[in-house]
């Protein structure tokens, strides 16, 4: 995929972030669009940027993937310099600062960044560098539908395993009504004990059916 085509791809998308008692859950669909054309049916929208931090992407695929690479490099440099892991809040602030610097020529993205340090934390960052801490949130064109499921079912005191089911059901509901969301569902957990872990597709199907 060349850079011009990547710029044209939009994730359309539904992405979800949930804070749980023992970690975070992130979920997304896997469809990328160019206008009304489905350009890809199998694109990653959740990425690790360190052992304990993950990001979701919505918006321009090329812009988002550039930021993923940038963040992974900056976090690695930080950890080498300070000889300790970066905190989730510091990583979110770093990402917000990068976006703020480019607000006159912005990256067309809406991002979620979450992970675990002393406790699970989740941040939403917009294209101009605005940052908010969340317990439960969704981005992308399918987010209004996903929020309907999350508002009813999500509970912060539940564990990662339980909230994975809720995230899967929320993305599944969005895929049924939002043209920009579709194909398969991707689910990731980040915990202190296991770090970044992506579920296999067969396990995701079992969650949806449960």
- Which residues form the catalytic set? 13
Q: Nearest 5°: CA angle at 111, between 40 and 153?
A: 90
Spatial distance between the Cα atoms of 20 and 187, rounded to a whole number of angstroms: 14
C-beta separation of 9 from 65 below 8 A: no
Spatial distance between the Cα atoms of 100 and 131, rounded to a whole number of angstroms: 10
C-beta separation of 68 from 61 below 8 A: no
C-beta separation of 120 from 158 below 8 A: no
φ, ψ dihedrals at 13, nearest 5°: 70, 165
């Amino acid at each position: 995929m060349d850079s011009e085509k990547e710029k044209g791809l939009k994730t359309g998308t539904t992405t979800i972030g949930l804070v749980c008692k023992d970690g975070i859950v992130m979920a997304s669909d896997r469809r990328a669009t160019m206008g009304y054309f489905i350009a890809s049916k199998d694109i990653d929208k959740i990425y690790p940027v360190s052992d304990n931090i993950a990001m979701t992407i919505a918006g321009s695929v090329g812009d988002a993937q550039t930021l993923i690479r940038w963040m992974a490099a900056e976090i690695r440099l930080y950890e080498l310099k300070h000889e300790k892991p970066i905190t989730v809040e510091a990583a979110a602030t770093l990402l917000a600062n990068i976006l703020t610097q480019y607000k006159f020529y912005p990256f067309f993205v809406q991002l979620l960044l979450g992970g675990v340090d002393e406790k699970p934390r989740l941040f939403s960052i917009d294209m101009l560098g605005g940052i908010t801490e969340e317990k439960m949130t969704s981005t992308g064109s399918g987010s209004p539908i996903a929020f309907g499921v999350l508002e009813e079912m999500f509970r912060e005191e539940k564990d990662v395993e339980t909230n994975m089911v809720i995230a899967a059901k929320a993305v599944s509901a969005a895929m049924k009504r939002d043209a920009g969301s579709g194909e398969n569902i991707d689910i990731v957990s980040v915990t202190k004990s296991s770090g970044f872990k992506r579920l296999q597709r067969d396990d995701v199907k079992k969650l949806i059916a449960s």
